[in-house]
């Protein structure tokens, strides 16, 4: 989805070059092309910069002929054909303002902007695509759109209230490009008209190094700057910080020149307003700290409003670690449980490996660890827990490189049981299980039941279970529930680029525990109490503790929080209770509570809890799995209403289904993550983070393929020379397309000792069984010049002359191997360079079986894509590198 969108924008930017602005005016200068050496790397996919990094509006162009300046027609030659899929031309933006309200760890963001359809000729209409990128764990709260004579406003409605909802879902008008970028379309917008859009969402503040960090997408590309008569471009930002803690706020950094306009002890207001020559080209970043050297916290109370379906009082308890750097951290016993099923192949598993290695390197020598790799079966790094010594981590790194190869099905229960068994004897450390998976399995409720039963009855320290989900095929609510049961934390990555960093952040924040086994005293006298989460996790240096809930009864003036410190002493802190002022507590806590309740509804299959989630979602405006979002247009002359009755919604959706011209209601659909896909997991489908890419060239070819029939007739009537030229052009295109099938190629060499000792057939059998295709092969006898040229990078090494002698001592078999992730998989298959070391650390590798030492190691493999390209070209394009012998 994201790759196709990026290609469509790439095509749209090219089409916009047709637009004529007048003799003295020029369109914005596009980004410079990549350097020559980068072009081969970037040609296969459109630039990442074409994905929106701030709210944007695009003209949807199915017919290139309608692209023109609505004010100054250029009378360009007619362009035949259609764009399939339609091109997306970024619209010029004339005004932008952003308001942010940050409360504790949640920020509410609203961005308002005005865009003009500058690229569609007067009298023509097009759809306009609105894209809303959101920050950390963003959740879309609402959108308002005004266009000439019309206005739209979003509304949430219970999923069960919609008739034929499954049929509508397949034809919904909005979707996610990625987990944090939502897009939808407004129909029939005239060329030259203006659109006013206000998008609102909530997102999380990231807690890093004792600071809250706010990062909001606010970077606009140069091609949205207006061109034409001079326009006053004003950029406005209003930021309100309300920590609610009664503690002084210390500003640390900001990306934009903010001016302080109001200051109280725990509140700060800033503003920024300027007339700018170009819109902001940087995301908005702001960080602040709370002044305290030790544990501190409090409790906020708030009464329900008159419309609240739940009449109980609300509370929010927060506890911060402070910035005391001398506070002792608990020792850790960590078992990493890594999914290596077939769907993890490629970039997902490589990123997981990188994160795993970084996490291991951050362990203290007194910590212990183990690694369990699972697919349909289980593979352990060690039969027992290992001290995190330097030698053990080196050994684990080598084991990971050889053993973590994606293949097979998904069985989560077996490795969880194995991990619990490994941690059964923990005493004065905190045991952790870190589960990383991209799949969904049928026995997830059984897994939760088993873990809950074990943790209830265990007499030793309960293992903390942290979970990490990759892509949309895994059941994220199962992973959240498992983390809740295990008093751990949960996180996820929906695109491959963020897997490494998010796993490292989860491990760092969850494992640096300074206060464990936390209990809340003085609440037992309440008439009723509902806690989120129900099992209170530990407090770590990397994450504040926030517990919320509803209650009936008289809430105490002081809450006593007790726990155990790393020196095993008891600790108690009194938290003062106060009324929440100027803080929307119900909205601030809604996302957290909706997710936890949804996990509970999934586990218990409770319709009552589902209904509760739907009501909370409608009341707070936060989307859920049990609500759907609509974009409602009122009757002409009326303002968009806050809410439309259910029956009217169904009537308008029926009209929309019956008549495409009835666009009074757009069905944006469900904005949740879903409950996983067991069938996709069983089939080992790659997660949606690795989608097929559509090339910009594809767009042009598809547009050409949709030309009218008379163009095809001209082709068949054209002269032979022109026909041959067209045939060659199409052949080149298809050969280029084949190069982008997603498979990778690497160079493999069986060296002289491998051929002379008759290992050739054995090695080729291993290659085929590992899933490689031997694309090409050739037997060569290399001369001195050929070896010197091939190994030129080692010319200054002491072993260079003996290497030349060895490689010219007999024939070599050179092969091009092809498969997904071919380079890394072949390197893993052959093992370490030194065959003596391989016999110890990787006894089943090719070099361990066939090699002798670091020089006579039997086989060679390219170590990077650049090396593979160079080495393949060396042997298969430059045949002068050696004398060809008949293959035997």
Q: Which one, of 645, 661, 530, 540, lies nearest residue 597 by Cα?
A: 530
Say how many Å lie between the first and final Cα of the chain, rounded.
49
Residue that has been written with the tokens 């001079």 in this structure = 230
What torsion do the CA atoms of 748, 754, 755, 761 make, to the nearest 10 degrees? -70
CB 763 within 8 Å of CB 866: no
- Looking only at the bridges linking them, the beta strands covering 92-103 and 234-242 are parallel
Neighbours of 648 (CB within 10 A): 14
- Which residue in 339, 414, 400 sits closest to 681, CA to CA? 339
Q: Is 667 annotated as a binding residue?
A: no
Residue 550 assigned to a binding site: no
In the DSSP assignment, the letter for residue 543 is B
Token pair in block for residue 79: 């362009």
Per DSSP, helices labelled H in 214-364 are 347-361
Answer yes or no: is 833 a known binding residue: yes
Dump the DSSP string for 655-708: HHHH-TT--SEEEEE--S--S--HHHHHTTPPPTTSPPPPPHHHHHHHHHHTS-
354 is in an annotated binding site: no
Provide the pairing of β-strand 490-493 with 464-470. Answer: parallel
Residue 887 three-state SS: coil
Q: What angle do CA 661, 664, 669 make, to 5 degrees?
A: 105
State both tokens at 105. 């760890």
Give backbone dihedrals phi and psi of 451, rounded to 5 degrees, phi first. -65, -45
Cross-strand partners of 183: 131, 175
**Cα-based angle 805, 811, 814 (whole degrees, multiple of 5):** 110
CB 421 within 8 A of CB 328: no
Q: What is the distance between the alpha carbons of residues 815 and 872, in angstroms, rounded to a whole number?
A: 9
Q: Which residues contact 885 (CB under 8 A, 6 or more apart)?
A: 779, 780, 781, 811
Nearest to 129 by CA among 97, 63, 173, 70: 173
State residue 587 phi and psi, 5-degree precision. Answer: -70, -35
**Owner of token pair 């997710």:** 595
**Residues marked as catalytic:** 860
- Helix, strand, coil percentages (3-state) for the chain, rounded to 5, are 30, 30, 40
What DSSP line would sit under 588-633, residue for residue?
HHHHHHHHHHHHHHHHHT-HHHHHHHHHHHHHHT---TTEEEEEE-
Element (H, E) at 485: helix 476-485
Q: Who contacts 424 (Cβ-Cβ below 8 Å, separation ≥6)?
A: 460
In 3-state terms, what secondary structure has residue 740? coil
Q: Is-contact 746 822, C-beta < 8 A?
A: yes
* 150, containing H or E segment: strand 150-158
Residue 315's closest CA among 576, 106, 108, 517?
576
**Beta-carbon contacts of residue 837 (< 8 Å; ≥ 6 apart):** none
DSSP E strands: which ranges in 21-124? 56-61, 87-90, 92-103, 106-116
- The Cα–Cα gap between 557 and 684 comes to 54
Report the alpha-carbon distance of residue 143 to residue 158 in Å, rounded: 18
Evaluated on CA atoms 543, 546, 547, 549, the torsion sign reads negative
Tokens 């879309």: give the residue: 140
- CA-CA distance, 538 to 564, in Å (whole number)? 10
List, as residue ranges, the binding site for ATP.
751, 799, 827, 833, 847, 857
């Amino acid at each position: 989805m994201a790759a196709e969108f990026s290609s469509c924008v790439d095509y749209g930017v090219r089409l916009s070059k047709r637009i004529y602005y007048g003799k003295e005016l020029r369109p914005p200068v596009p980004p410079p092309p990549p350097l020559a050496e980068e072009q081969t790397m970037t040609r296969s996919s459109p630039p990442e910069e074409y994905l929106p990094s701030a709210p944007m509006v695009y003209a949807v162009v199915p017919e290139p002929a309608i692209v023109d300046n609505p004010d100054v027609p250029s009378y360009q030659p007619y362009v035949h054909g259609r764009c399939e899929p339609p091109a997306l031309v970024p619209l010029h933006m004339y005004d932008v303002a952003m308001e942010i309200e940050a409360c504790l760890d949640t920020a509410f963001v609203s961005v308002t902007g005005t865009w003009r359809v500058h690229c569609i000729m007067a009298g023509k209409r097009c759809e306009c695509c609105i894209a809303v990128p959101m920050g950390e764990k963003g959740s879309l709260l609402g959108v308002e759109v005004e266009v000439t004579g019309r206005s739209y406003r979003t509304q949430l409605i219970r999923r069960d209230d919609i008739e034929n909802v499954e049929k509508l879902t397949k034809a919904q008008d909005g979707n996610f490009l990625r987990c944090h970028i939502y897009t939808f379309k407004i129909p029939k917008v005239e060329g030259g008209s203006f659109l006013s859009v206000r998008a609102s969402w909530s997102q999380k503040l990231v807690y890093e190094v004792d600071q809250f960090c706010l990062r909001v997408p606010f970077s606009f590309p140069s091609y949205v700057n207006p061109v034409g008569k001079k326009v006053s471009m004003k950029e406005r930002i209003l930021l309100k910080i309300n920590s609610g803690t009664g503690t002084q706020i210390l500003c640390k950094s900001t990306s934009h020149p903010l001016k302080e306009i109001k200051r109280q002890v725990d509140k700060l207001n800033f503003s920024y307003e300027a007339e700018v020559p170009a819109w902001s080209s940087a995301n908005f970043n702001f960080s602040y700290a709370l002044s305290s050297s030790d544990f501190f916290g409090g409790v906020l109370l708030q009464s329900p409003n008159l419309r609240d379906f739940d009449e109980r009082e609300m509370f929010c308890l927060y506890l911060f670690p402070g910035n005391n750097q001398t506070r002792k951290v608990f020792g850790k016993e960590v078992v990493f449980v890594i999914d290596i099923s077939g769907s993890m192949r490629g970039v997902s598993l490589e990123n997981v490996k990188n994160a795993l290695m970084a996490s291991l390197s951050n362990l203290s020598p007194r910590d212990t660890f183990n690694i369990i790799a699972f697919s349909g079966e289980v593979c352990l790094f060690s039969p027992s827990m290992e001290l995190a010594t330097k030698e053990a981590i080196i050994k684990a790194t080598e084991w990971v490189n050889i053993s973590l190869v994606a293949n097979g099905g998904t069985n989560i229960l077996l490795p969880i049981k194995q991990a619990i068994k490994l941690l059964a004897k923990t005493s004065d450390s905190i045991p952790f299980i870190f589960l990383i998976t991209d799949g969904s399995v049928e026995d997830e409720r059984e897994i939760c039941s088993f873990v809950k039963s074990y943790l209830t009855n265990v007499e030793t320290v309960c293992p903390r279970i942290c979970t990490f989900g990759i892509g949309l095929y895994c059941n994220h609510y199962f992973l959240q529930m498992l983390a809740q049961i295990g008093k751990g934390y949960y996180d996820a990555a929906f695109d491959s680029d963020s897997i490494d960093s998010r796993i490292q952040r989860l491990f760092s924040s969850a494992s640096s525990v300074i206060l464990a086994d936390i209990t809340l005293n003085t609440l037992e006298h309440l008439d009723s109490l509902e806690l989120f989460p129900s099992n209170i996790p530990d407090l770590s240096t990397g994450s504040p503790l926030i517990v919320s809930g509803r209650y009936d009864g008289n809430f105490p003036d002081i809450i006593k929080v007790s726990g155990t410190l790393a020196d095993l002493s008891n600790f108690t802190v009194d938290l003062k209770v106060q009324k929440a002022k100027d803080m929307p507590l119900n909205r601030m806590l809604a996302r957290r509570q909706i997710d936890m309740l949804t996990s509970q509804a999934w586990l218990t299959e409770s319709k009552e809890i589902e209904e509760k989630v739907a009501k909370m979602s409608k009341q707070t405006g936060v989307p859920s799995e049990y609500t759907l979002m609509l974009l409602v247009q009122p009757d002409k002359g009326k303002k968009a209403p806050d809410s439309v009755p259910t029956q009217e919604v169904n009537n308008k959706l029926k009209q929309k289904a019956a008549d495409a011209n009835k666009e009074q209601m757009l069905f944006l659909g469900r904005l949740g993550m879903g409950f996983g896909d067991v069938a996709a997991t069983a089939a080992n489908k790659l997660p949606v983070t690795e989608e097929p890419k559509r090339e910009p060239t594809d767009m042009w070819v598809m547009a050409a393929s949709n030309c009218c029939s008379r163009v095809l007739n001209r082709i068949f009537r054209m002269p032979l020379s022109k026909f041959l030229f067209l045939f060659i052009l199409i052949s080149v295109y298809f050969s280029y397309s084949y190069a982008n099938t997603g498979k990778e190629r690497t160079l493999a060499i069986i060296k002289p000792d491998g051929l002379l000792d008759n290992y050739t057939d054995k090695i080729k059998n291993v290659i085929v069984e590992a899933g490689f295709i031997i694309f090409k092969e050739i037997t060569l006898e290399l001369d001195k010049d050929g070896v010197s040229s091939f190994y030129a990078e080692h010319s200054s090494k002491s072993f260079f002359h003996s290497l030349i002698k060895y490689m010219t001592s007999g024939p070599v078999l050179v092969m091009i191997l092809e498969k997904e992730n071919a380079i890394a998989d072949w390197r893993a298959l052959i093992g370490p360079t030194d065959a003596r070391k391989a016999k110890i650390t990787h006894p089943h590798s090719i070099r361990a079986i066939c090699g002798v030492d670091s020089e006579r190691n039997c086989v060679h493999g390219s170590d990077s894509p650049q090396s593979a390209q160079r080495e393949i070209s060396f042997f298969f394009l430059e045949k002068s590198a050696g004398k060809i012998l008949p293959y035997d």
